[in-house]
């Protein structure tokens, strides 16, 4: 076997996938509850997306950054419009590349005195060495130390600690990275009080606030950006995952006066933005805004159904929109395998938290079926 095994793969040979179903070569079909880890907002193989991808692909597949694709400006303009302020967009191929671009921007405006970047326990911003430096999972970063200097990990949702730190070190703190709803950390939203304190301190001490919307952004939580649930006013926003309609595409949104920090030649990418992925992005951003009320409603229905399972094994069901978690009282090492045997594909964090990131166009009947299967497994 020549493939480096860094993932815990499902034992599944896939033939094709459609909507929320994955069809195996052995003839069995499986329900997909996490859509390529939050990538496929419209489910697998959506016919409209296949059409826009194919139309672009038949014309050209790659241009390089010596040319501007016809959709690049339109998508950028819409992304900025979604924030309700002004700004400019830089495209990447992935989430971690967006985090890296942000780190370069921060580095450029740092001084020897003001250079500290705050991040939070269980915040996830990527796997490259820069973004790992601001990721709050010691287990995945320790063996790569030393990483970037001048970073500082603080507890998530601890207002007192944050205030104490910033009151003391505000003249050293240049930036704060945050996920409004932690994804890999187990679908943990900001406490409203903590968010209020964070924004208050942001206004007071004028550090750069970076909202990582790579997993929670673009409609998944029922708002265009998850930070909009919490009254944050970020200076930089990162998106990726679902942006390209299923193809790799990410972006950094440089808002207001941060739009001009990076100058020509200071950053770049051979592949980004891929024109075919941009066609997917155009479809995404044209359709997601009108789906928001529906996403909220579906999320409420899904949560309600889960709670009605009344399982004594569930500690809590939580989330916003269609970014949901079912946290168990005790870890269950066989949960994922039992679900798999029941033809249900689950993403389970630490054998304890089922992370649900279903297609945003999931139907009520599909939600019912998923909840029924989860009930059977528990
Ligand atoms: C919040 C968040 N930020 C950054 C990343 C990294 O994105 P990518 O895997 O595309 O590099 C992820 C990936 O899961 C994420 O969930």
Atom of ligand 1 nearest to the CA of 213: 1
Measure 268 CA to ligand 1 centroid, in angstroms: 19
Measure 131 CA to ligand 1 centroid, in angstroms: 9
Q: What is the pLDDT of residues 19-36, one digit of tens each?
A: 999 999 999 999 999 999
Q: Which fold has domain 50-286?
A: 3.40.640
Residues in the chain: 378
> Which of 38, 124, 130 has most ligand 1 atoms within 8 Å of its beta carbon, as the pocket-test mutant?
124
Find residue 236's DSSP bridge partners: 210, 254
Q: In this structure, are residues 156 and 162 in contact, taking their beta carbons and an 8 Å threshold?
A: no
**Residue 275's pLDDT band (boundaries 50, 70, 90)?**
very high
Nearest CA to ligand 1 atom 8: 95
Measure 309 CA to ligand 1 centroid, in angstroms: 31
Cα–Cα distance list, 24 to 18, 27, 29, 292, 338 (Å)? 12, 6, 6, 32, 17
H helix or E strand, kind and range, residue 164: helix 159-169
Atom of ligand 1 nearest to the CA of 126: 6
- C-alpha–C-alpha distance, residues 87 and 47, integer Å: 33
> Which of 35, 120, 122, 125 has most ligand 1 atoms within 8 Å of its beta carbon, as the pocket-test mutant?
125
Task: Cite the residue boundaries of each domain of the chain with CATH code 3.90.1150.10.
Answer: 14-45+291-377
Q: Residue 341: helix, strand or coil by DSSP?
A: helix
Nearest CA to ligand 1 atom 4: 125
Task: For CA atoms 76, 77, 81, 85, give the dihedral sign.
Answer: positive
Cα–Cα distance list, 272 to 92, 244, 377 (Å)? 5, 11, 42
Task: Cite the residue boundaries of each domain of the chain with CATH code 3.40.640.10.
Answer: 50-286
Residue-level pLDDT at 52? 98
**Residue 263's pLDDT band (boundaries 50, 70, 90)?**
very high
Cα–Cα distance list, 61 to 56, 131, 258, 274 (Å)? 7, 29, 31, 7
H helix or E strand, kind and range, residue 374: helix 364-377
Measure 239 CA to ligand 1 centroid, in angstroms: 9
Residue-level pLDDT at 181? 98
> Which of 6, 93, 94, 95 has most ligand 1 atoms within 8 Å of its beta carbon, as the pocket-test mutant?
95
User: Strands, DSSP E only, in the chain?
Assistant: 14-18, 21-24, 29-32, 87-92, 116-120, 151-154, 173-178, 181-182, 188-189, 208-212, 236-239, 250-255, 314-320, 323-328, 344-345, 347-349, 353-356
The pair of three-digit structure tokens given for residue 360, joined into one six-digit string: 């945003």
pTM of the model: 0.98
Residue-level pLDDT at 130? 98
- C-alpha–C-alpha distance, residues 23 and 327, integer Å: 28
Residue ranges lining ligand 1, Cβ < 6 Å: 94-96, 124-126, 179, 183-184, 212, 214-215, 240
Could you say which of 3.90.1300.10, 3.90.1150.10, 3.20.20.540, 3.40.109.10 is the CATH number of the domain covering 14-45+291-377? Answer: 3.90.1150.10
Residue-level pLDDT at 1? 87
- C-alpha–C-alpha distance, residues 312 and 279, integer Å: 46
Task: Give the gyration radius of the chain's Cα atoms.
Answer: 21
Q: What is the pLDDT of residues 234-251, one digit of tens each?
A: 999 999 999 999 999 999
Atom of ligand 1 nearest to the CA of 179: 1
Mean pLDDT in residue range 365-374:
98
Measure 206 CA to ligand 1 centroid, in angstroms: 26
Q: What is the pLDDT of residues 44-101, one digit of tens each?
A: 999 999 999 999 999 999 999 999 999 999 999 999 999 999 999 999 999 999 999 9
What lies within 8 Å, CB to CB, of 28 at 6+ separation is: 343
End-to-end Cα distance, the chain:
35
């Amino acid at each position: 076997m020549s493939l480096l095994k860094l993932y815990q793969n499902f034992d599944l040979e896939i033939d094709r996938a459609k909507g929320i179903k994955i069809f195996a070569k052995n003839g069995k079909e499986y329900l997909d509850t996490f859509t390529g880890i939050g990538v496929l907002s419209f489910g697998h193989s959506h016919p409209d997306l296949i059409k826009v991808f194919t139309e672009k692909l038949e014309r050209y597949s790659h241009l390089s950054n010596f040319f501007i694709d016809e959709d690049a400006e339109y998508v950028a303009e819409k992304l900025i419009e979604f924030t309700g302020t002004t700004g400019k967009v830089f495209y990447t191929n992935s989430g971690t590349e967006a985090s890296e671009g942000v780190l370069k921007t921060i580095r450029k405006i740092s001084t020897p005195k003001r250079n500290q970047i705050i991040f939070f326990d269980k915040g996830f911003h990527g796997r490259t060495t820069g973004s790992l430096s601001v990721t709050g999972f010691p287990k995945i970063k320790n063996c790569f130390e030393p990483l970037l200097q001048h970073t500082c990990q603080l507890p998530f949702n601890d207002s007192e600690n944050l205030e104490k730190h910033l009151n003391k070190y505000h003249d050293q703190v240049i930036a704060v990275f945050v996920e409004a709803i932690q994804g890999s950390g187990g679908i943990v939203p900001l406490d409203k009080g903590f968010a209020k304190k964070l924004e208050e301190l942001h206004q007071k001490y004028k550090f750069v606030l970076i909202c990582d919307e790579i997993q929670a952004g673009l409609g998944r939580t029922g708002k265009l950006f998850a930070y909009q649930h919490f009254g944050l006013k970020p200076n930089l926003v990162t998106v990726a995952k679902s942006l390209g309609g299923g193809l790799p595409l990410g972006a950094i949104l440089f808002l207001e006066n941060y739009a001009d920090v990076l100058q020509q030649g200071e950053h770049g990418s051979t592949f980004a933005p891929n024109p075919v992925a941009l066609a997917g992005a155009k479809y995404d951003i044209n359709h997601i805004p009108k789906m928001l009320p529906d996403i909220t409603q579906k999320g409420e229905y899904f949560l309600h159904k889960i709670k009605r399972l009344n399982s004594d094994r569930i500690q809590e069901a939580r989330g916003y929109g269609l970014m949901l978690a079912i946290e168990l009282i005790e870890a269950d090492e066989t949960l994922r395998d039992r679900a798999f045997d029941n033809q249900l594909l689950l993403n389970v964090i630490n054998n304890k938290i089922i992370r649900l990131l279903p297609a945003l166009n999931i139907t009520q009947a599909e939600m019912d079926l998923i909840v029924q299967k989860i009930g059977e497994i528990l």
